[in-house]
Structure 1
Amino acid sequence: MIDRVDTLCMIVSNVERAARWYEQTLGFTVVFTGEGYRVLQVGEGSVPITIEEGDVISNTNHTYPIFFSKDSKKLHDQLESSGVSVSDLHNDGVNQFFNFYDPDGNKLQVCYFE
Structure 2
Amino acid sequence: MNKLFKRIDTVFLEVTNMERSIGWYTEVLGFSVRWHDVENGYAAIEMGETPLTLVRAENVTPGSHCLLNFYSADIYAAHQKLAERGVSVEDVIDYGAVLSFEFKDPDGHILGVCYFEEESVTREES
TM-score over 0.5 for the alignment? Answer: yes
CA RMSD between the two structures: 1.5
One-letter code aligned to 2:45:
L
- Does residue 1:38 correspond to 2:43, yes or no? yes
Greater Rg by CA: 2
- Report the Cα distance in structure 2 between the residues aligned to 1:74 and 1:7, rounded to whole angstroms: 26
* 5+ long unaligned stretches in structure 1: none
Q: CA deviation at 1:80?
A: 1.5
The one of 87, 98, 101 equivalent to 1:95 is 98
1:23/1:61 Cα in 2 relative to 1: closer, same or farther (>3 Å)?
farther
- 2:66 touches 2:111 (CA, 8 Å); kept in 1? no
- Cα deviation digits, residues 72-92 of structure 1 (max 9, x gap): 111111111222121111010
* 5+ long unaligned stretches in structure 2: 118-126
- 1:87 touches 1:98 (CA, 8 Å); kept in 2? yes
- Give the match for residue 48 of structure 1: 51
Q: CA deviation at 1:21?
A: 0.6
Instruction: Give the TM-score of the pair, scaled to structure 2.
Output: 0.81
Instruction: Give the TM-score of the pair, scaled to structure 1.
Output: 0.89
- Give the match for residue 24 of structure 1: 27
Percent identity reads 38
- Report the Cα distance in structure 1 between the residues aligned to 2:64 and 2:54, rounded to whole angstroms: 14
- Report the Cα distance in structure 2 between the residues aligned to 1:30 and 1:15, rounded to whole angstroms: 12
SS of corresponding position for 1:99? strand
